[in-house]
Amino acid sequence: MRVVRPKEGENVLWIRFSAFGDVLQSAASAYVFKKAYPQLRLTFLTSPEYGSILSKQPYIDNLLFWNVKKRPWDFFHVLHCIRGEYQWLISMYRGGAAALTALFSKAPFRLGYNSVMQFAYTTTHWEYLDALDVDFTRRDEPMIFTQKEDQEHARSMLRPLPTKRLFAIIGASKPQKFWPVAHWIEFLRPLAENGWGIVLNGHGPKEAETAKAIAEALRAPNVLNLVGLTPFPLMAAIAESCTIAVGNDTGPLHLAALLGTPTLGFFGVTDSWGMNFRMPWFREVRVRCPLAGCRNYHCPLDCLADITPDRALSAFREMVEDQPGKDSKTSVHRSTAHHPSLCG
């Protein structure tokens, strides 16, 4: 395979439409790519709801939005914006929307997944990026950054809590990823009683119901329920301000880990390594099911219930005693960059 390396001043279009955690991991891969080739100008094509946090990332030069599910006809607007404008297109999205975008983009180098839509790409991104000596699965430093105004807002919200703070990620996108509410209560109670500030985080009615049950059961002044109250940039700053993050495999878990916050995740139907949780400050508690990581979202078993509060507490205490990467955790203070849409 003949390898052509990116040249100074060339434009790259990076594509990932959903979901929150996958968009963040794709942004982290874009960070690795941009670090290897800083002379490139990188535009990220994504769904509008992720613009608030991606606009804060200093390695993303421009943002372009397309709500694929609600406004599929905007494809023609996107095509008008990108056609002939990019030398490189890298898709981290398996769906047809990204493939069609690649196919009609006129980008000479189009990298995507090896799938039934492979005809839209010139090669797979895994193969080509390896040839470019870019390991875009690398996660050995913080790759999502917060801004000063969000950090100050987070500090003011967390001021009533003790300095030892646990960022509790109680929600998930699938029922099979939810750790039982009773387990959360039994896990958090001794921590709250021993001086830990508990920050309950999430969005949506299921998380609100879970947070309410936890807060009512603990009845402690050092429990702060922020479910539904934190837009993504503020959520990031709060996670960054916490000592440790614990929770289900969902977007905010990716967020905390990519910020450099020591993170403990509960895994059952998904696989942490496959989801790119490869940070030295990340640890997991995995179900003992022989089919762990099966991705069977129709399984009738509540496999996460296998992770008992005692197992979680044991893993938590080990992390507190030895937090790998804690010293390297950084907070990047940059003013918010302006990211105009390509089409204005």
* Tokens at 130, concatenated: 């390896």
**What's residue 75's pLDDT?**
98
pLDDT digits over 301-323, tens only? 788 999 999 999 999 999 999 86
pLDDT per residue as tens, the chain (344 positions): 689 999 999 999 999 999 999 999 999 999 999 999 999 999 999 999 999 999 999 999 999 999 999 999 999 999 999 999 999 999 999 999 999 999 999 999 999 988 888 899 999 888 888 889 899 889 999 999 999 999 999 999 999 999 999 999 999 988 889 999 999 999 999 999 999 999 999 988 999 999 999 999 999 999 999 999 999 999 999 999 999 999 999 999 999 999 999 999 999 999 898 888 999 999 999 998 877 878 788 887 788 999 999 999 999 999 999 864 444 443 333 333 444 444 53
CB 178 within 8 A of CB 268: no
Q: What integer pLDDT is reported at residue 210 of this predicted model?
A: 96
Let me know if residue 56 belongs to a domain: yes
Does 219 lie in the same domain as 86?
A: no
Burial of 152 (0-12, 13-18, 19+ CB in 10 A): exposed
Claim to verify: residue 192 and residue 96 sit in the same structural domain: no
Look up tokens 């005692």; give the residue.
Answer: 310
Residues 166, 313, single domain; the answer is yes
Give the model confidence (pLDDT) of 58-108 as tens digits: 999 999 999 999 999 999 999 999 999 999 999 999 999 999 999 999 999
- The pLDDT of residue 36: 96
Same domain, 96 and 224: no
Has residue 343 been placed in a domain? no
Within-domain flag for 250 = yes
Does residue 294 fall inside a structural domain? yes
Q: Is 46 in contact with 13 (CB distance < 8 Å)?
A: no
Q: Is residue 141 a part of any domain in this protein?
A: no
pLDDT of residue 323: 67
Residue 30, domain CATH = 3.40.50.2000
326 in any annotated domain: no
Q: Which of 131, 157, 190 is the last residue of a domain?
A: 131
My answer on whether 162 and 309 are in the same domain is: yes
Q: Report if residue 334 sits inside a domain.
A: no
Q: Which residues have a Cβ under 8 Å from the Cβ of 76 and sit 6 or more positions away?
A: none
Task: Indicate whether 50 belongs to any domain.
Answer: yes
Q: How many domains does the chain have?
A: 2
Of the three residues 82, 100, 131, the one that is the final residue of a domain is 131
- Are 224 and 102 part of one and the same domain? no
One domain, residues 233 and 107: no
* 172 shares a domain with 119: no
- 275 and 153 together in one domain: yes
d(CA 168, CA 24): 19
Residue 335's pLDDT is 33
**Sheet bearing 223-225, strands edge to edge:** 223-225, 197-201, 165-169, 244-248, 263-267, 282-286
pLDDT for res 248: 96
Q: Are residues 210 and 314 in the same domain?
A: yes
Query: Is residue 177 domain-shared with residue 290, that is, in the same domain?
Result: yes
Range of the domain at 79: 11-131
Q: CB–CB of 192/217 below 8 Å?
A: no
| In a shared domain, residues 172 and 95 | no
